[in-house]
Structure formats: C-alpha cells, structure tokens
A and B are shown apart, each in its own frame.
Chain A
C-alpha cells in the first residue's frame, strides 16, 4: 500500500504565477482534504473533496481551488501566487466510515519568489 502520495515534492514559482499540486489518496479512501502549513505553525485546513465536490472550506481566498477526479485523486490549484503562499501543502485522505483516522502525505514544499 503506497499510502497518500503527493507530487511534486518541491516546487519554486514566481509571484503571480499559477501552480497545481497533486494528491493520490490511500487505497480504499474516497475523501481528500488539503492543508497549508507555514513554517513553525500547525496545518491550516483549506478544503475537503468527496464525490468530486468541495464539501467544506476553510478561510482561504478564491485563488485556492481544487478538483477531485473519479479515481478519487485530487488537485489543488493556486492562482496569482503571493510570497505568503510559500508553505508546505499537505493532502490527507480518509473514508466516510465514521470514527476513522486520516492519513497524510509527505507534502509539497512550495516556494514563491
């Protein structure tokens, strides 16, 4: 079992550009959540996808958008990148079975210059 896989592992972008990050959930999982983790802080919830729809959203601007595909994999898109978007982006997968844990990927380190 490969667990949750994210790509790429590292990325450098320029201010104003757009970026797409990818996540493959753990086998058997159908929900995907995305988190942003700034250096020295806890992860912040961005949004959650289930059945190819955004189900919950944290306090992030519309520049952050996502998608979930029929195979449950997901993408996080960030438009008009700002320096403050530099962070570790984490993907977590789970199921709708109650009372079960989430599994996190290793993250994508995004640096905006």
Chain B
C-alpha cells in the first residue's frame, strides 16, 4: 500500500516550470516525503526529500503543505531529459525503511 496518490500522467513544455502534485493524507508525523524518478530503461533515481519545510537542491524543489497532507515537486525549468516517471513516497526516518512505490506520474516534455 503506497499510501500516496499522484496523477497518472502530465505534460509540460520544455524550459517551463513543472509542478507535480502528491496527496498523502494519512501520513504519520515521522514519515518523510521522498521523490524518486525513473528515466526510460534505467533504475529509479533519488530526486529530493523533506519532512515539514520546503526543500531545494540542484535538481528540484519540494513544497510541503502546512498540514503535510500533500506536497508538490517543482522542476523549475524542464528539459527533455526530465521526461520520466516520478514517484512520491512516504518513508520513515530510518534509512532501513523500505521504499514502497505507487504507480507514479509519467511526465512528458514537449519540445
């Protein structure tokens, strides 16, 4: 049970921002929100994670709602290389926590 809900697919234009939503209404107080993405013919790749406050790294930004029931992954300027399946995952603090994948959002980028 992935316990997160994401749209099946989204499309965006190259060089424009992309906002990928995720609902996790039953999240516990100690679960982190992780995002991974899977490019075609590759294994999943870590993108970003956070607990309560917004997070930024070189790949993306993560905006977490104040009630923590939803979050949004933001790609500031999409490129064709960003076309992938994006997975939003709840994960415990312990890094031994297993990663439970849902079906993710398939992001397509239009040139």
Contacts from A to B (Cβ < 8 Å): 4, 31, 33, 35, 41-45, 48, 50, 55-56, 58, 90, 92, 94-107
Contacts and interface: CB of A to CB of B under 8 A. Distances in A.
Contacts, number: 66
B32 A99 contact: yes
A42 B2 contact: yes
A66 to B, nearest CB: 14
A105 B43 contact: yes
B101 A42 contact: yes
A50 to B, nearest CB: 7
A4 B101 CA distance: 19
B43 A90 contact: yes
Contacts of B100: 45
A92 B99 contact: yes
A98 B93 contact: yes
B42 interface: yes
Interface of B: 2, 32, 34, 36, 41-46, 49, 85, 87, 93-96, 98-104
B98 A99 contact: no
5 contacts: A33-B99, A42-B87, A48-B98, A99-B49, A105-B43
Contacts of B101: 35, 42-45
Given A31-B95, A92-B43, A104-B36, 12 more contacts: A4-B43, A41-B103, A44-B101, A45-B98, A48-B98, A97-B95, A99-B32, A100-B95, A101-B34, A102-B95, A105-B43, A107-B42
Contacts of B44: 43, 90, 92, 104
B62 to A, nearest CB: 13
Contacts of B103: 41-42
